[in-house]
Amino acid sequence: MYSFGYDAAAHALVGLKSGPPDTDADYERVLDSLAQLVTDAKDELAVWVFIIDSKHPPPGPGWRRRFADGRTRARELRFVMVTESAIERGIITALNWVKPPSAGQRFVCRATFEIAVSWLEGEADRPMPILYALRETARAEARLATQVDMAAGSRH
């Protein structure tokens, strides 16, 4: 499942991949949230933190290709994948190798959210406390979706 918190004014997105394995609809939401971030940021710096549960399966090759294609639209983008999964970190390395980031873009992996925020603050040369609030929004959305799924399952 993909949930996220977004602040258009701050050009900041925090996505969370958790719970049940992602569906095509979840991956479309990932691309849609990135497209919105890029559109709103225009030529300004956009930041995206993508937190991935290490037990979550990685996307298939078709989706990896679409993610690589989707990131080329941003002029100034900092992307941090937060995961302990070596497979997910390897995907970012492969994407950067197959389709290197455009000028003004940086794509990295970090082990914790706090380390990711610290890196982004250094890149932006300013504090970014909004990222913590956006993480909480993404977590709340994920909790709500899980509760709805559980309630729907108990009716069957």
Look up the domain containing 64 and give its range. 2-154
Tens digits of residue pLDDT in 7-50: 999 999 999 998 888 889 999 999 999 989 989 998 899 999 99
Q: How many domains does the chain have?
A: 1
Tens digits of residue pLDDT in 35-94: 899 899 988 999 999 999 877 777 888 887 787 777 666 679 999 999 988 887 888 888
Cα 27 to chain centroid, rounded: 11
Phi, psi of 100 (to 5 degrees): -60, 145
The predicted model scores a pTM of 0.87
Helices (H) and strands (E) in the chain, counts: 5, 5
Six-digit token pair at 151?
A: 């309630």
Residue 92 neighbours by CB under 8 Å, 6+ apart: 81, 107, 108, 109
